Amino acid sequence: MPGWIRAFATTKPRVTGGAVGIALTLALVIVAVFAGVIAPVDPFASVAPPLTAPSRSHTLGTDDLGRDVLAGIVHGARTSLLVVLSVTLLASTIGVSIGAVAGYRAGGIDDLLMRLTELVQVVPRFFLAVLVIALFGPGLDRLVLVLGLTSWPAVARVVRAETLSLARREFVEAAHALGSPAVRVLARHVLPNALPAAVVVVSVNAGTIILMEAGLGFIGLGDPHAISWGYLANNAQRFLRVAWWMALFPGAAIALAVLGLNLLGDGLNELLDPRARRVAGL
Amino acid sequence: MSARYLLRRLLQVVPAVAGIVLLAFVVVHTAPGDPAVALGGEHGDEAYYAFIRARFGLDRPLPEQLVAYATSVLRGDLGQSFVHGRPVAHVVAERLPATLLLMGTALALSSVAGVLLGVFAARRADRPADLAVRTAALLGHAMPSFWLAQLAAITLALGTGLFPVQGITDPRQAWTGWRHALDVLHHLALPALVLAAGELALTTRLTRTGVLEALGTDYTRTARAKGLSERAVVRHALRNALLPVVTVIGGRAGMLFTGAVLVETVFAWPGLGQLMLSSILTRDIPVLLGLFLLVSLAVIVANLLTDLAYAWLDPRVRYD
C-alpha cells in the first residue's frame, strides 16, 4: 500500500469528510455564481453538430440539438442553488419559528404545533410537487413554495427540543428575572444556542432538496426557461444507446453537490455534538 | 405494548388522513382554471356550464363539497380518470403490483445486505475495509436513483447485453409458468438492484453506528467478560443496534416510492411511475391526485407499523 493511501486511510475520517464537504459546497457556489464566466456559451444555443462525443472544444460533448453539455451543467448549478437556497430559507424560517414557540411556550400551544408538524411530516413532498406543478403549470416559484412549505418539520423538531431544554437553564431564568420580555429572551438568549443543531438538519435537508428538484426535472416537470440538471438527465434518457456523456455528467454533478452537502452536514454534526464524535459515525 | 398505547397510536391516524384529504382538496381548489370549462369544453354556453356545475356539485358551498369529497375518498372512490374513462382506483390498482414487486425486492435486498455490511464495517471500525464501506455508503446516499439507473442501463444492459433494457417481460415470448417468472425476475434484477442501492447506503450506515454504540455499552462488556465469542457478543449488540434501522425503514416509505417512480421511468417498468409519467403528459389530474393520496396513505400506514414494531421490539417505549 503506497504511503499516501495509508496516510489518507489513517487520517481521522471526519476531518477529511468535513473538508471535502466544504470544498464541494464551495465549488457548487462558485460555479453557480460565476456561471457566465466559466461557461460563456448560452446553454440553450446550438453550438456544434448534435451528439458529438467529448472533445477538446466541447469537454463534455454536445446533446441532440448540438448544445454544450458543460454549459448546461454550469448554468444548471445556478438553478439548483437558487432552488435549494430559497427552499432552505423558507423551510428554516417556518421551522425555527414553530420550533421556538412550541418549545418555549410548552403546554397546549406546543401540543397543537407538534400535531401540525407530524401532519406535515407525512406529506410525500415529491408527489405533492408533481400534483401542484401539473395543476399550476411548471415554474420555479411554485416548486420553491411547495418544497419550502413541506420541508420544515425536521427543523422545527430539532429547534423545539433544544429550546425546551434551554428555556429551563439558569441564564435564561436570569434574563427573565432582569425583566427582559419573552420575545427578547427567545431571540437573544435561547435561539442562538439552538441554532447549531438546526444548521446540521438544514444542511442534510439541502441534499434531499437538490435530489428532489433534480427528480422533478427528470420527469419533465422542471421550469422550461431555466436549464437544470434534471432536465439534462431527462433529455439524456432517449439517447442512452448513442450518447453516454449526456447521462453521465449531469448526474455526476448532482451526486457531487449532494455529497458535498451531506459531508458538510456530517462534519458540522460531529463538530457540534460531542456524543457523535465519540462514535465517529460517517 | 399496552392496549392503551395501541389505541392511542391507532387514533393518531385519523387526523393524519384528514389532513391529507384536506390538503388535496385545497390544492385542487386553488388551482387556476374553471373545472366546468375543463369538463365541458371551451365552447359551451352559460346554461351548459351551470348544468355541469349542478351535475358535479360544483355549485354547492365549499364545506359541503369538502365533506362530499372526503366521504367518497374514504369509500375508496377516487373519481374518474379523464383519459382512461375508468375509475382512478382501478387504473392505479392495475399498476400497483408491479411497483410493489419492485419496492419489496429492493427493500428486502437493501435490508439484508445493509445489516451485513454494517456489522462488517463496525467490526473493522476505522480500518481500510470500514473506510471503503463508509465511502461507498456516502456515495450511494448522494447519487440520484435515476442516474444510477441510467448508468446501469448503459453499462450492464446495453453494454454487456446480460440484462434487458426495458419492461417487465420479453414481448417476443409468450411464456407461462416458471419460464414467465424467470423472465420477470430477469427484468426485475437491474431496477431492483438500483433502487436497493440508495436504501442500502442508509441501512449500512445506521447499522454500523448502532453496532458501534452498542459495543460500547456495559452489557456488551459483561458479555465479553463472561468469555463469549466475538460472534455472540455482536449478536447481543445487534438486537439493540437494529432498532433505529427498523424506524428508518418505515419512515422512508415516501422516499422509496419516489425512488421507485424515477427508476421505473428509466427502465420503462410498467408500474405507478409509468402511470404518473403518462398522466403528467395528458394532464390527467384525477390520476395524479389518486397517486398522491395513495402514497400519503402508504406513508401513514408505514409510520404506524414502524411505531408498533418499535414498541413491540423495545419494551422501554412508553407512550405519554
Q: Are A101 and A109 in contact (CB under 8 A)?
A: yes
Residue ranges making up the domain that contains A18: 3-280
Q: What are the tens digits of pLDDT across the range B286-304? A: 999 999 999 999 999 999 9
CA distance A267 to chain B (A): 13
Q: Which residues on B lie below 8 Å from A221 (Cβ)?
A: 280
What is the grid cell recorded at A103?
A: 418549545
Mean pLDDT of B119-127: 88
Asked whether the beta carbons of residue A237 and residue B266 sit closer than 8 angstroms, the reply is yes
What is d(CA A80, CA B315) in angstroms, rounded to the nearest whole number?
Answer: 45
Residue A123 CA to residue A32 CA, distance in Å, equals 31
Average pLDDT, chain B: 88
- B132 vs B125: CA distance, rounded Å: 11
Which of 160-189 (B) contact A at CB < 8 A? Answer: 165
> The pTM is what?
0.90
Measured distance CA(B15)–CA(B23) in Å, rounded: 12
Residue A208 pLDDT class (50, 70, 90 cuts): very high
A63-70, long-range: CB within 8 Å, 24+ apart, which pairs? A63/A232, A63/A235, A63/A236, A63/A239, A63/A243, A63/A246, A64/A235, A64/A238, A64/A239, A64/A243, A64/A246, A67/A43, A68/A39, A68/A41, A68/A43, A69/A232, A69/A245, A69/A246, A69/A249, A69/A250, A70/A39, A70/A249
Cβ A282–B15 below 8 Å, yes or no?
A: no
> For residue A13, what pLDDT is reported?
60
Q: What is the pLDDT of residue B79?
A: 85
Going from N- to C-terminal start, the domains of chain B cover 15-74, 97-313
Domains in chain A, number: 1
Q: Which of B141, B213, B265 sits opposite A219 (nearest CB)?
A: B265
B 199-228 residues with CB below 8 A of A?
205, 208-209, 212-213, 216
**A83-87, B17-21, B143-147, B174-178: range with lowest mean pLDDT:** B174-178
Q: What pLDDT score was predicted for residue A275?
A: 53
**Do A118 and B266 count as a contact with CB atoms less than 8 A apart?**
no
CB contact under 8 Å between A255 and B147, yes or no, is yes
Q: Which three cell numbers stand for residue A183?
A: 420575545
Per-residue pLDDT of A38-55, as tens digits, reads 888 888 888 888 888 898
In the chain, the amino acid numbered B75 is R
Interface touch A13/B151, C-beta < 8 Å: no
| A254 contacts in chain B (CB < 8 Å) | 143-144, 147
Neighboring chain B residues of A17 at a CB cutoff of 8 Å: 138
B152 touches chain A (CB under 8 A): no
- State the DSSP code for B229: -
Which pLDDT does position B307 carry in this prediction? 86
Q: Do B288 and A122 touch (CB under 8 A)?
A: no
Q: How confident is the model at residue A98 (pLDDT cuts 50, 70, 90)?
A: very high
Q: Which pLDDT does position A280 carry in this prediction?
A: 41
When the candidates are 3.40.50.1580, 2.30.42.10, 1.10.3720.10, 3.40.50.300, the CATH number that belongs to B97-313 is: 1.10.3720.10
**Cell numbers 436570569 label which residue?**
A174
- Chain B residues within an 8 Å CB radius of A228: none
User: Residue A58: pLDDT above 90?
Assistant: no
Task: List the single residue in B150, B288, B296 with the smallest CB-CB distance to A237.
Answer: B150
Q: Give the count of alpha carbons within 13 A of B40, CB side only.
A: 19
B217: which residues sit within 8 A by CB, 6+ positions away?
B237, B240
B88 contacts: CB under 8 Å, gap ≥ 6: B78, B79, B80, B81, B286, B287, B289, B290
Closest CA to B274 of B91, B110, B149: B91
**Mean pLDDT calculated for residue range A249-264:** 95
The more confidently predicted of residues B218 and B113 is B113
| pLDDT for the residue numbered B54 | 83
Mean pLDDT to the nearest integer, A5-22: 70
- Neighboring chain A residues of B209 at a CB cutoff of 8 Å: 279, 281-282
C-alpha distances (whole Å) from A142 to each of A133, B149, B290 are 7, 28, 21
Q: How many CB pairs under 8 A join A and B?
A: 162
Q: Is the model's pLDDT at B51 over the cut of 90?
A: no
B190 touches chain A (CB under 8 A): no
Task: Give the pLDDT band of residue A282 (cuts 50, 70, 90).
Answer: very low
pLDDT of B130 higher than 60: yes
Check CB contact under 8 Å for B144 and A136: no
d(CA A275, CA B226) in angstroms, rounded, equals 28
Given pLDDT bands bounded at 50, 70 and 90, which one contains residue B277? very high
- Measured in angstroms, the CA of A251 and the nearest CA of chain B are apart by 5
Helices (H), chain B: 3-11, 13-30, 35-40, 46-55, 62-74, 88-123, 128-142, 145-152, 177-215, 218-225, 230-251, 253-267, 272-281, 285-313
Confidence at residue B320, expressed as pLDDT on a 0 to 100 scale: 44
Cβ atoms B203, B245 nearer than 8 A: yes
Q: Which residues contact A183 (CB under 8 A, 6 or more apart)?
A: none
Decide if pLDDT at B6 tops 50: yes
Residues 6+ apart with CB under 8 A from B160: none
Instruction: Please tell me the distance in Å from B60's CA to the nearest CA on chain A.
Output: 22
Tell if the CB–CB gap between A254 and B141 is shorter than 8 Å: no
Place of cell 384528514: B18
**For residue A94, which amino acid is it?**
I
Mean pLDDT, chain A, whole residue set = 87
Lowest mean pLDDT among A5-19, B4-18, B116-130, B265-279: A5-19
User: How many angstroms separate the CA of residue A67 from the nearest CA in chain B?
Assistant: 20
| pLDDT recorded at residue A12 | 61
User: DSSP secondary-structure letter at B155?
Assistant: I
Measured between CA atoms, how close is B196 to chain A, in angstroms? 17
A102: Cβ–Cβ under 8 A, 6 or more apart, which residues? A109, A110, A113, A114, A117, A156, A160, A163
Contact at 8 Å (CB) between A230 and A138? no
Question: What residues in A contact B145, CB-CB < 8 Å?
Answer: 215
- Rounded to a whole number of angstroms, the distance from the CA of B182 to the nearest CA of chain A is 26
- For residue A278, pLDDT beyond 80: no
C-alpha to C-alpha distance for B292 and B257, rounded to whole angstroms: 11
Instruction: Give the integer Cα–Cα distance in Å for A167 and B83.
Output: 56
**B78 pLDDT exceeds 60?**
yes
Residue B254 near chain A (CB below 8 Å):
yes
Q: What is the CATH number of the domain that holds A52?
A: 1.10.3720.10
Question: Would you give the distance in Å from CA A212 to the centre of its chain?
Answer: 9
Of the listed ranges A276-280, B86-90, B98-102, B254-258, the least confidently predicted one is A276-280
In a mutagenesis test of the A interface, which of B99, B240, B262, B293 is the best target, namely the one with the most A β-carbons within 10 Å?
B262
The confidence score (pLDDT) of residue B154 equals 93
